[in-house]
Structure 1
Amino acid sequence: MKRDQLKELGLTDEQIDKIMGQHGADVEKAKVTANDAESLKTEMTHLKLN
């Protein structure tokens, strides 16, 4: 989602800032979850090989 798209919807700059901040936090949580899943997958693979 881009700021321009939100502006076209009639949102204020303050509303857009809050949305973008929350979106950024959600993206970071997703990255951590993906990294955790990849780490667990790697660990399982190593355990199966031993």
Structure 2
Amino acid sequence: MWIPRWYWENAIRRQDELERRVKRLELIFCRRQKIKLPASRIRKPAKNIKMDI
């Protein structure tokens, strides 16, 4: 079965675009995690809090 060249070029272009977007999202999530980690270390959990109802 013969498949035109433009089809393959378009498929390769779409694949490259998806890979680029995934890498970009991975970088965004890594940056967010780096920002969140120090902030979570600052907060200390409260100990022995009793709530009277």
Shared fold, TM over 0.5: yes
User: Gapped runs of 5+ residues in structure 2?
Assistant: 43-53
User: Gapped runs of 5+ residues in structure 1?
Assistant: 1-8
| Percentage of identical aligned residues | 2
Structure with more of its chain in helix, by fraction: 1
Point out which structure has higher relative CO (alpha carbons under 8 A, 6+ apart): 1
Structure 1 runs of 4+ aligned residues shifted over 3 Å read: none
Give 1:33's match in structure 2, choosing from 25, 33, 43: 25
Aligned-residue Cα RMSD (Å) equals 1.4
Report how many aligned residue pairs link the two structures.
42
TM-score (norm 1): 0.72
Q: Cα–Cα, structure 1 residues 44 and 13, in superposed 2: closer, same or farther, change >3 Å?
A: same
Q: Cα–Cα, structure 1 residues 10 and 38, in superposed 2: closer, same or farther, change >3 Å?
A: farther
